[in-house]
Structure 1
Amino acid sequence: MSNVETLPLQQPDVTPCCPPLTERPLSAEEAVRTAAMFKALGDPVRLRLFSLVASHEGGEACVCDISDVGVSQPTVSHHLKKLKDAGLLTSERRGTWVYYRVEPSMVAAMGQMLGTRG
């Protein structure tokens, strides 16, 4: 049993990059920003890493717990950096390990843009 207190998840304030796709066509700038998010998830290894972090107990995962995705450690680090650069993950170094969390506001914004509710 862990001594870490778990706080209830709160619905993040959503600042969508773009309006729902059914509301109006995206501007060129909105399309570029949106494509960057989806491009980051467009690689099967990145999508799997994102899923591993999102579904990990406690809402965060140490890189040591999610590295076994069939590619080398440097490649895992590259993919995690791409997800982080796209704003989909945040990270925190603790000693020698890096812990990753899904950025809930980005996921909520993507869901809102696609017309789904979180």
Structure 2
Amino acid sequence: MSKSSSGSGLRELSLADDALASCIPLAHKPMSAAQAGQVVPLLKAVADPTRLRLLSLVLSHEGGEACVCDLTPYFDLSQPTISHHLKVLHESGVLQRERRGTWIFYRARPEVMTALGNLFATGTLDGGPA
């Protein structure tokens, strides 16, 4: 189900690509059942408090990428548990990963971050009706 990006070593998932196509602003037009079903895995992945914090830490880490060793000090969780949560974020398509020697570095997919942000866009600065 996964495919590799050319030459970069970063892995992306077609599941996320399908979901991205469905991330039209909710205020623009009603979402179909099929579109909602495609977006839900992305939302479920970031709905967990630990995974949301991990995503925030990766995004805010120097260079916008981090490995497990950079992230474990922020949690009262074991390294395997942190790795599991990172795997969920990767499998949903939210994070890319790249192996460098024995370490795996994670980076948020910018197109997913943009699509998720746009999903809740109202079209106005004040959040009111467009």
Q: Tell me the TM-score range normalised by the shorter chain.
A: 0.7 to 0.9
The answer for unaligned runs of 5 or more in structure 1 is 1-14
Question: 4+ runs of 1 displaced by more than 4 Å?
Answer: none
Q: Could you say which structure has the higher helix fraction?
A: 2
SS of 1:67's equivalent in the other structure is helix
- 2:68 counterpart residue number: 63
SS of 1:70's equivalent in the other structure is coil
- 2:47 counterpart residue number: 42
**Displacement after TM superposition at 1:24 (Å):** 1.1
Query: Percent same amino acid among aligned pairs?
Result: 51
In the superposition, the TM-score normalised over structure 1's length comes to 0.81
Q: How many pairs were matched up?
A: 103
In the superposition, the TM-score normalised over structure 2's length comes to 0.74
Letter of the aligned partner of 1:45 in structure 2?
A: T
**Displacement after TM superposition at 1:82 (Å):** 0.6
SS of 1:100's equivalent in the other structure is strand
Asked if 1:51 is matched to 2:65, the reply is no
Letter of the aligned partner of 1:50 in structure 2?
A: L
Kept in 1, the 8 Å contact 2:22–2:36? The answer is no
Asked if 1:86 is matched to 2:92, the reply is yes
The answer for unaligned runs of 5 or more in structure 2 is 1-19, 124-130
